[in-house]
Structure 1
């Protein structure tokens, strides 16, 4: 696999060639106390709330009768529980699917951080004592390469987190990590990465959880 410069410090991900219609599903975990309050959650291992468990079960409706060739999950409890309640059998947990490590901003909300750093965004400012965009890109590219290799055998499901799933979407279509800023992914929502005419595409994005209006 070759790479080209993405223009922001990290090389662009060049997606392996896939057959049209191949599917890589991204599932964001259900609600936790911190996702509900807007606190940045990476290494803190929080369980799902009752609402988060309902959301995870609601994912069954979105997944339908999907028969994945491979299911990978972040090792955090909120992701593993979401996969289980969604009716998925996780083949492997991997730290490569963990959330962007927020370092010193763990547990803080954006508004709180902006009291110290006006106009702060993880996409533009990064985090002190956490992961750099280049480090996050490297993890995302490893996950996508592995998922693409398994996709010819059937759908691949990646169960993880908000910011990191947005990075996966951006990297799939050749954007730098900062491209994830434009790819909102709600709690317990799904997205599908695919290909058309040999080009990587976002087939579906931010499909709402069936419990969102309940």
Structure 2
């Protein structure tokens, strides 16, 4: 087996109070809600069904990601700031409607965040994460445990689209995405994998 036979799996952390309310959360280190803990445990069921090959598990340093990994039954091999959420800077803790009161057409994918990361910076960091995964996928699967916007950024760059297209992908809290290959072409093999009942709304 070689590179094209292995997968990059992305697991978004379970629900927090701020993900529930739609507040942008990067540096703020929130715990999972009770619902988030259940979501993380259910993610473990999906991971077991994927039959991963000697997975290298890398987690964001935030407690919500580390707790999700533990509850999902993952043994974290590396904690890396590379997988931290998009730095929202001045928009930390604000919802999109609140931000749009002053910047009506604002989306993180088009505008970035003052005092935080720009679109170009996140795109470059996502490319670095993809490169890291590819360097290990000759011999094993790779699992990234992280956050909504940055996981979607990795997906977008995995399929070699400009970062603005990340707005077209969605990851429910506690859900998984699978990136792989078909005939040597990088593809998104699955998105939104979850064992959660009625898993149809953001959070």
| TM-score between the two structures when normalised by the length of structure 2 | 0.92
Is the Cα–Cα contact under 8 Å of residues 29 and 161 in structure 1 kept in the other structure? yes
Change in Cα spacing, 1:186 to 1:146, as seen in structure 2 (3 Å) is same
Task: Please identify runs of 4+ aligned residues in structure 1 that moved more than 6 A.
Answer: none
Change in Cα spacing, 1:31 to 1:68, as seen in structure 2 (3 Å) is farther
| 1:96 counterpart residue number | 82
| 2:116 counterpart residue number | 130
User: Matches of residues 14-93 of structure 1 in structure 2 within 5 Å?
Assistant: 18-19=3-4, 21-64=5-48, 65-93=51-79
What's the CA shift for 1:67?
4.4
Greater Cα shift, 37-46 or 125-134: 125-134
**Unaligned segments of structure 1, at least 5 residues:** 1-16
| 2:196 counterpart residue number | 211
Greater Cα shift, 187-196 or 131-140: 131-140
| 1:197 counterpart residue number | 183
Q: Partners in 1 of 2:135 and 2:52 — Cα distance?
A: 18
User: Aligned-pair RMSD on alpha carbons?
Assistant: 1.4
Q: Partners in 2 of 1:33 and 1:68 — Cα distance?
A: 33
Is the Cα–Cα contact under 8 Å of residues 137 and 171 in structure 1 kept in the other structure? yes
SS at match of 1:143: helix
The count of residues paired between Structure 1 and Structure 2 equals 196
Q: Partners in 1 of 2:13 and 2:108 — Cα distance?
A: 20
Is the Cα–Cα contact under 8 Å of residues 31 and 48 in structure 1 kept in the other structure? yes
**Unaligned segments of structure 2, at least 5 residues:** none
- 1:177 paired residue among 163, 181, 184: 163
- 1:188 paired residue among 174, 183, 186: 174
Is the Cα–Cα contact under 8 Å of residues 169 and 202 in structure 1 kept in the other structure? yes
